[in-house]
Amino acid sequence: DTAVSQTPKYLVTQMGNDKSIKCEQNLGHDTMYWYKQDSKKFLKIMFSYNNKELIINETVPNRFSPKSPDKAHLNLHINSLELGDSAVYFCASSPLTGLNTGELFFGEGSRLTVL
């Protein structure tokens, strides 16, 4: 009964391919996020959704397309993968959003390696 679960945990693929990462939370939270953690361990927000609506889009290339079919799920699709996309992608959720954002609950991460 993992609170925030993402799949796959590891993904190795070639440049130019398209791939997806899925995330689900069973905490009943309204807000979900995608963060990218690069090789220098810097954790950077990419997107945030609140009740299926996009509320944060942090200047991410449009090759990255998030989709939230319902408030418990947030998926990330990446087109035309590049070497620089190699990173660990963390999904997270929180009960509220904006200035009321409380603690974030993170998934285990999906390590993407682009060859």
Q: Looking at beta carbons only, is 51 or 80 nearer to another protein?
A: 51
Asked if residue 23 lies in contact with residue 104, where contact means CB atoms within 8 angstroms, the answer is no
Classify residue 51 as left (phi > 0), alpha (psi -120 to 50) or beta. left
Closest approach, Cβ 52 to another protein, in A, equals 18
Half-sphere exposure of 3 (CA within 13 A, CB side): 13
Site membership for another protein, residue 42 (CB under 8 A)? yes
Closest approach, Cβ 16 to another protein, in A, equals 28
Of the residues 67, 72, 86, 109, which one makes contact with another protein according to CB under 8 A: 109
Of the residues 17, 26, 80, 101, which one makes contact with another protein according to CB under 8 A: 101
Residues 96, 104: Cα–Cα separation, whole Å: 10
Asked if residue 21 lies in contact with residue 111, where contact means CB atoms within 8 angstroms, the answer is no
Residues that bind another protein (CB under 8 A): 33, 35, 40-45, 48, 56, 90, 94, 98-109
